[in-house]
Structure formats: structure tokens, C-alpha cells
Amino acid sequence: MNIKNVEILAYTVPLKEPVKAYAAGLMTGFGMVIVKITDENGNIGQGYTTMHSNQELAIARIIEDTFKPILLNNDSSLIEFLWKQMWKQTHYAGRGGPVSFAIAAVDAALWDLMGQRVKQPLWKLLGGYSSKVKVYAGNIDLNFSIEKILDNASRNIEQGYKAIKMRLGRETLKEDLQRVEAVRNHIGDSMELMADANEAWRVDQALKASNELANFNLTWLEEPITPDDYRGYAYLKNNGATPLASGENLHTLKEFQELFYYNGVDFPEPDYTTCGGFTPFMKIAKLAEAYNLPVMSHGAHDVHIQLLAACPNAAYMEVHAFGIEDYISNPLKIENGFGVASDLPGIGFEFDLGKLKQYKTN
């Protein structure tokens, strides 16, 4: 089925309240690019990627100028071929970075189109393992008071979560430890607790934090250091007392291969929106399986449920604060601590473009 039209829509979507993480700082909204691909029979596939605010136009432009000519009049079912053409055309200024975000939106739309055409949900098209994946609340709360964090944790428990993540990277480690202790005491020992430092520390600081956090039985410590210091991750994994998660800031399959090769992670956390789409996400998940590692996801939970439900090594899915639930037809359903993959075709939902129109930037 040849591709007849490619539409590229860019937005800045406001958050309900400003949130803060160490590396990104305070965030009031996020950028989003939706790609709509129509084939010659009128089937439509939709894909999207998100990024920090004010970067969506650059990513939309890569798709418009470089990828659209590759896609038009080509067979939409040759996803690996089209992915490789997009990679090759941008390799000089790409091999990661914004190009990976741009390819991701197109690749997602191609997979959704495939699912729409054969009328199958992606989690079954991609292999089909289990419709249920354990979820955790990926709170972004570095700027919140302890009281507000505890209130939010209570709300997460009411919503059915069995696992909660909080942010680290305050002025001192002592302050971080006090906040973790308060949350652990509040939620009890039966809830799982994760912590995300968003690259706040040097390796020596991270090692100290990893060992002191062991008192609070964290499932993992996420991104304690800069994401591309693979040897640093290996050092922390070998010498620290808390398991490590990382992956949202790795933008290629090769970067994950390096992290695994150095034995630098316990909980790999790829994000299809940042690593080039479903095509590399599934390769990363299978590479993790080959290394006897589980696979998680970061962000984009309404879509990642379809990918993780296809993976035998899926362990957790993050339900992220950059939510699109107000703008789609079928938001993620959570039952008893598990996300449930929809059996609707493709990614399982459509965007409400009318509702998003007010935030359009292109």
C-alpha cells in the first residue's frame, strides 16, 4: 500500500501544574509532534513523539523536509526499509539526537498504519506476550514540598498503583534522604518505591547516594549520573547497593548495546519517542532479553503498553507526567496495579485533533 499523504502537526501542550526534574529544570509544558500517514486505500496511521517545549518545530521540520519525500509513494509496509532510508539521509547530522525523535514519530505512524490495515493491535502484531504490564506512577516532584509528595502518593495508592517513583537532586543528599524516608514511611514496605536523580551527581556522589539509599529498599535508582558514562554506570552497579535504571536519554540501539556490554544497568528503560520508534525499541527489548535483563519504558505510556505487552521480559511501565490522556480516544486503563493493552487495531487510540488545535505551533 503506497503512502499518499504525510501530515506533520506540532504542538506545545501545557502541563496541569509545573513540575521539576534536576537536568530539565522547571517545566510548564511539553512539545509534541504528531505524524499522520494516509495510504492509497485511505487507511490512516498516527504516531507521535514528545520533547521539551520549544523544540517541536525543529523536529517537525526534519520530517517535512527530509522524511516526507522518502515516504511519499513508497510502500508503507516496508517499515525496516523506510527506517533505514530515514537514518541514512540524516546520518551526518543525526545518529541520535533530534533525528531519533523525528524518526520515532514516523515509525510509530507506520506501525499504527500496519495495525489499522490488518485490524490487529500492535501488541499482538509484535509478538504478543501478555496484555497486562505492571505500572508505576512516574511522579516529577523535585519542586514539591514533602507534604505535597505524600498527598500525591496517597492519591497514587487510591488510583491502584502498587509502585511509585520520586525525584532526587535537592541541594544536599541529606535532604534527598529525608524525603525518601518520609515517602517510604508513608507508603509502607509493601509498596515499591523507585527514585530518579535525573543526572544530578558525579560518580562519587552517586556511589554515596546508592549506598545510603539502601536503607529504604528502592527497586531502583534511575540516572544518578550523565547517561553516556557507561563505565560510570558499571562502577556504580558493581560497587553501589541500589539497582540502577537508565535509558530515556539514550537515542540509539548502539548506545543501549554499549550500556549492556559494560554491564551498567539492571533496569533498561528505553523510550520509543527518543530512540527512533517502535522498530529500535523492540530490538532494544530483545537485546535486553539476550543479556537476561528486563525491559521497562519511559514516558508515552498510552503507546508503550502496546510494545511492552509484546515483550516476555517486560517488568514495569512508567505512567509519566507528560500525559496525553485528555487528547486521545482511549487512554490507558489501569487495573489493580497493571496497565492493560487495548485490543483495538494499531496503537489503540486516535488523537482528538480538534481539542489539540489550541496548542498548535506549526
What b/e sequence results for 290-316 when a residue is b if at least 16 CB atoms lie within 10 Å of its CB, and e otherwise? ebebbbbbbbbbbbbbbbbbbbebbbb
Q: Is 39 in the site for Mg ion (CB under 5 A)?
A: no
At closest approach, how far in Å is the CB of 322 from Mg ion? 11
Residue type for 336, please?
Answer: N
Footprint (CB under 5 A) of Mg ion, residues 179-208: 196
Residue 267 or 278 with smaller CB distance to Mg ion: 267
Report how far apart, in Å, the C-alpha atoms of 69 and of each of 3, 73, 218, 244, 245 are: 11, 9, 48, 41, 38
Indicate the residue among 220 and 351 with the shorter CB distance to Mg ion: 220
Q: For the window 210-229, what string marks contact with Mg ion as x by the rule CB under 5 A?
A: ------------x-------
Minimum distance of Mg ion from residue 146's CB (angstroms): 20
Which among 93, 74, 90, 73 has a CA at the least distance from the CA of 82? 74
Question: 3-state DSSP call for residue 135?
Answer: strand
CB of residue 66 vs Mg ion: minimum separation in angstroms?
A: 29
Instruction: Compare residues 56 and 196 and give the one whose CB is closer to Mg ion.
Output: 196
Q: Which is nearer to Mg ion, 39 or 222 (CB)?
A: 222
Residue 86, SS3 per DSSP = helix
SS3 214: helix
Q: Which is nearer to Mg ion, 141 or 222 (CB)?
A: 222
| No. of helices (H) and no. of strands (E), the chain | 14, 12
Provide, rounded to whole angstroms, the least separation between the CB of residue 120 and Mg ion.
31
Residue 112 beta carbon to Mg ion: minimum distance, rounded to whole angstroms: 26
**What is the closest distance, in whole angstroms, from the C-beta atom of residue 101 to Mg ion in the complex?**
16
Residue with smaller CB distance to Mg ion, 107 or 196: 196
Cα separation, 20 vs 221, whole angstroms: 18
d(CA 225, CA 204): 10
Grid cell of 75 as nine digits: 510502500
255-274 residues near Mg ion, rule: CB under 5 A: none
> What is the closest distance, in whole angstroms, from the C-beta atom of residue 196 to Mg ion in the complex?
4
DSSP 3-state of 360: strand
Question: What is the smallest separation between the CB atom of 222 and Mg ion, expressed in angstroms?
Answer: 5
In the bound state with Mg ion, the residue whose beta carbon lies nearer, of 111 and 256, is 256
Tell me the residue ranges of DSSP E strands in 159-212: 163-167, 192-196
By C-beta, is 107 or 222 nearer to Mg ion?
A: 222
Report the run of H or E that residue 132 belongs to, with start and end.
strand 132-138
- Total chain residues near Mg ion (CB under 5 A): 2
At 45, which helix (H) or strand (E)? strand 44-52
Amino acid at 149: I
When CB distances to Mg ion are compared, the closest residue is 196
CB-based contact 114:79 (threshold 8 Å):
yes
Contact positions toward Mg ion, by CB under 5 A?
Answer: 196, 222
